Amino acid sequence: MSLAPQELENSASKYAAEAIKLDSQGSRGMAIQSYQRAIEALVKLVQIYPDYKLNKVYMERANAYQNRIKALQMSHGLDDDSPAPAESASAGGNGRSEPANGKSGSSHSGGGKSSGNVETLKADFDDLVMKDKPKVSWDEVIGLDDAKRAIRESIVYPMKRPDLFPLGWPRGILLYGPPGCGKTLLAAAAAAEIDGYFINVDAASMMSKWLGEAEKNISKLFKMARSLNENEGVPVLLFIDEIDSLLGQRNSEVGGEVRVKNQFLTEMDGINGKSKESQLYVIGATNKPWSLEAGFLRRFQKRIYVTLPDNASRTNLFSQYTKPLNTEGSLKIEELAKITEGYSASDVKDICQSVQLRVVNELFESGKAMEAGANPRPVGNNDFKEILKIRKPSVSVDMIRAYMRWSDQFKAL
């Protein structure tokens, strides 16, 4: 018997309310788990009832929670589970902070020549755009050496020594590959290194939110990015996730998709033709590179495949994500890496999280959780194996073949 939509909706609301509460209390890890449960309930709802009238709203909500998870993960590093500083904890709330150079994006006093304009533009995007300075270092991005090098060459080096690039350098970079392998993380690490604004937008939620107005809003978004760069002298990295949605079918307006796409291409041409002083970059990310057409691809001079982790990277991922767990040194990480071929980086992280939950649940079920000094037992390889029985890779072998085929044809490092 499947659940009625109402029941699934109630359970999503319950988890979301829990997440928001935990988020506002600074319990980052627990908040992330509750947001994830809320997302799972919403996704299940949409899958079971594909024709349900509120599905669009549910997917928007799920996207908002996903963005919040990313904001929580990005702004506090990967290992640090310390409470978040006072941040918005609304359901779709995006953490906001100042650019790295200390100039506040919202500190204008009315005297600047056009910063007022920037403020108005920013206000238009408050609920979709995360302007943040992520605390992600290159070391925290495991593996992906080619991708790291290509991003450094095209963004970091030209920014540091523009005089060494008389022929200019790429402003558009496309990251493609299976979900959960580090596209967002790479973009965040690049933004952290160039010490600038990181504008993180999700094209899918942009398109559904701006139904019929996407064209105008894309132009505003780029205008905001340009103004931030020109008026505040801070480099700006505009990260557009799910960029394939700009070509999608969601815009119900007749001819809407074409106009949105053309607007985007025009904006990209503007950026690519910019003088050396301009420090504005666009990183697009997609799990469906095959849905992008040639005109689109041409605007992204670098096209980088962000792959599933290989054996060595999975070993490092397990080592990173089991660090906070009590393992009593008994864990054989190499074995775990071997049996998780085909799993994404974020699958590995989720597996570690599930193992942790397993021993915590055990403690609660034993009725001893509230006793003084009670702690979960150490985790071992068997706990991971049990979780792996019920947790399959999120990417299929066929999908990987499709990425490789596309990559052979279109990658550009």
Residues at the site binding ligand ADP, with contacts judged by CB under 6 A: 70, 73, 78, 141-144, 179-185, 285, 306, 317, 345-346, 349
- Our CB check for ligand ADP shows the closer of 22 and 243 to be 243
- Our CB check for ligand ADP shows the closer of 118 and 292 to be 292
- Our CB check for ligand ADP shows the closer of 138 and 169 to be 138
Token readout for 223 is: 């205008």
In whole angstroms, how close is the CB of 269 to ligand ADP at the nearest point? Answer: 26
β-sheet bridge partners, residue 281: 237
Neighbours of 363 (CB within 10 A): 16
Token readout for 184 is: 């967002």
Token look-up 């590179």 returns 289
In whole angstroms, how close is the CB of 39 to ligand ADP at the nearest point? Answer: 13
Please compute Rg for the chain using Cα positions.
22
Task: With beta carbons less than 8 A apart as the criterion, state whether 45 and 12 touch.
Answer: yes
Q: Per-residue DSSP letters for 339-376? A: TTTT--HHHHHHHHHHHHHHHHHHHHHTT-TTSTT--P
- Our CB check for ligand ADP shows the closer of 186 and 260 to be 186
- Our CB check for ligand ADP shows the closer of 187 and 221 to be 187
Neighbours of 13 (CB within 10 A): 15
In whole angstroms, how close is the CB of 245 to ligand ADP at the nearest point? Answer: 14
In whole angstroms, how close is the CB of 287 to ligand ADP at the nearest point? Answer: 7
In whole angstroms, how close is the CB of 413 to ligand ADP at the nearest point? Answer: 17
In whole angstroms, how close is the CB of 140 to ligand ADP at the nearest point? Answer: 6
Token readout for 233 is: 């002298």
Contacts of 350 (CB under 8 A, 6+ apart): 391
- Our CB check for ligand ADP shows the closer of 36 and 272 to be 36
Packing angle of the helix pair 345-365, 381-390 (nearest 10 deg): 110
